[in-house]
Amino acid sequence: MLMDFILLFLFAGVPYYLVFEKTNILGKEKIFYLSSLLVIIGMIVFNVTEKTASVPFAIIALMASLFSLYKANKTTNLYKLSYYILFFNAPMLIMFQTKESTLYGVSLLVTLLGIFMMGKYYERNYGSANYRPITGITLVTPYAGLMLTIYLTALALYPPFPNSLMFLNGILNSDLCTLWYIAVVVIFFGNFLIAVRVMAKTVFGKPNTNVHYIDLAPKERWLHLTMFIILLVLSIVGLKELLA
């Protein structure tokens, strides 16, 4: 019971919703770092204890997940989107087996770190991580458009990106039940629909003529290339797990 509480606390964004959402103790950037750290601690605890959450706590995690999905759908801030989606995926981190949970968690964190870094790019060049006025970036900032497309495609659980492979591997190695089917459908379509919605409002569309577009700087390109290579490595790991 205690371990269930601990995992729910670490994975589902409980500290954020109870403390940080309505205070200015931490900025949006630090909230993402803290949330990611808590998830990493949760994965370590999960590996040490190898305990699967009970059904009642899985249900609570799923309900919290739906609330995070609602928040993710409402925001146009890439910083907030990154940690809302992290919280949204809590049921999978709790319900997968230990190894599968860790692999999916790592690939998810890498993808969301990429989206978070794109938020920093937006804030540095456009004054805010709000993506609403910055439309059609593929046409005018091809490097930024490419990287954001990659991260959102990975988030949408498209193969051969690692998120989809780890997600499928987790499904194949889990004990199925009615709650499990519901969680899989909710998490899969939630990730997909949020990623597609953001992609439609950023990558595609007509560029805003009132905005002076600035592409990724050379150093940023190398950094995002490194992130892409990490995603490729994780894809290979995910494929090996599926074929094992």
Q: Which residue(s) pair with 130 in the sheet? A: 77
What pLDDT was estimated at residue 51?
64
Q: What is the mean pLDDT of the chain?
A: 87
Mean pLDDT of 158-175: 86
> Over 80: is that where the pLDDT of 183 sits?
yes
Of 42-56, 89-103, 118-132, 160-174, where does mean pLDDT reach its minimum? Answer: 42-56
> Over 90: is that where the pLDDT of 106 sits?
yes
Mean pLDDT of 98-117: 91
Whole-number percent of the chain with pLDDT over 90 = 39
What pLDDT was estimated at residue 26?
78
Q: pLDDT tens digit string along 12-35?
A: 787 788 787 777 787 778 888 888
133 or 175: which leads in pLDDT:
133
Of 52-56, 62-66, 134-138, 163-167, where does mean pLDDT reach its minimum? Answer: 52-56
Q: Would you say 104 and 96 are in contact if contact means Cβ atoms under 8 Å apart? A: yes
Query: What secondary structure letter does DSSP report for 20?
Result: I
What pLDDT was estimated at residue 209?
87
What pLDDT was estimated at residue 110?
95
Of 11-15, 129-133, 235-239, where does mean pLDDT reach its minimum? Answer: 11-15
Query: What secondary structure letter does DSSP report for 18?
Result: I
Q: Measure the CA–CA gap between 165 and 32, rounded to whole angstroms.
A: 24
> Over 80: is that where the pLDDT of 3 sits?
no
Mean pLDDT of 218-238: 94
> Over 70: is that where the pLDDT of 93 sits?
yes
What pLDDT was estimated at residue 64?
85
Q: At what angle do helices 28-49 and 78-88 cross, to 10 degrees?
A: 20
Q: Would you say 117 and 153 are in contact if contact means Cβ atoms under 8 Å apart? A: no
Mean pLDDT of 129-153: 91
Domain extent, residue 207, equals: 2-243
Nearest to 111, CA basis, from 198, 169, 21: 198
**Overall domain count for the chain:** 1
Q: Would you say 141 and 21 are in contact if contact means Cβ atoms under 8 Å apart? A: no
Mean pLDDT of 129-144: 90
What is the band of 223 on the pLDDT scale with cuts at 50, 70, 90?
A: very high
What pLDDT was estimated at residue 235?
94
Q: pLDDT tens digit string along 39-91?
A: 888 888 877 876 666 777 778 888 888 989 999 999 999 999 999 999 898 87
- pTM reported for the whole predicted model: 0.92
